[in-house]
Amino acid sequence: MAKVGIFFGSSSGVTRGAAEILADEIKGAELIDMEEDFDGIEQFEDFDVLILGSSTWGQGDPQRDWVDPLYDLSNDRPDMDGKKVAFFGAGDQKTHGEHFLSALGKMHDLFISLGASAYGFTSTAGYEYEFSLAERDGKFCGLGIDDVNQEDLTEDRVKEWASQLKSEMGL
């Protein structure tokens, strides 16, 4: 059985809430809060599957808890061949539609450049935004959560995505 790590950063609690639902849905997955539990990029080596969560800030940047780890990954360039990765995170498609979920796109590009294989692409249908670095061929490179404008859809979206990941990744 694959060892699954759900790594997340969360300021307002939205990404944390999604991570907790994912952990309930994907039995045996370990939750790693980037602020409290993250020890360094070597920790990624402990898992076969990395499910990575971050909200989008500023000009499409990842959650502040991800800044140093992403910098370290960019500089140290560890080999991620064989790692399965999936991305999820929060954004506000109306107020910040010019960079909606762009942090996921930035994280996706980095992990793919290190050799990881990405899973969990989702439809952009049902979202209204101007631009997103997370969009690839009409899909998001992960799960988008908008608790500001679509809070009533969050739990079902996360549970459906967990089912998708279990199927795609053989979990």
For the stretch 73-117, pLDDT in tens is 999 999 999 999 999 999 999 989 899 999 999 999 999 999 999
Q: Read off the pLDDT band of 1 (50, 70, 90).
A: confident
CB 88 within 8 A of CB 161: yes
**Is 90 exceeded by the pLDDT of residue 150?**
yes
The pTM of this model reads 0.95
CB 6 within 8 A of CB 32: yes
For the stretch 4-63, pLDDT in tens is 999 999 878 899 999 999 999 999 999 999 999 999 999 999 999 999 999 988 888 898
Structure-model confidence comparison of residues 33 and 67, the more confident one: 33
CB 34 within 8 A of CB 165: no
Distance of alpha carbon 81 from alpha carbon 44, whole angstroms: 12
pLDDT at 13: 84
152-171 mean pLDDT: 97
CB 45 within 8 A of CB 80: no
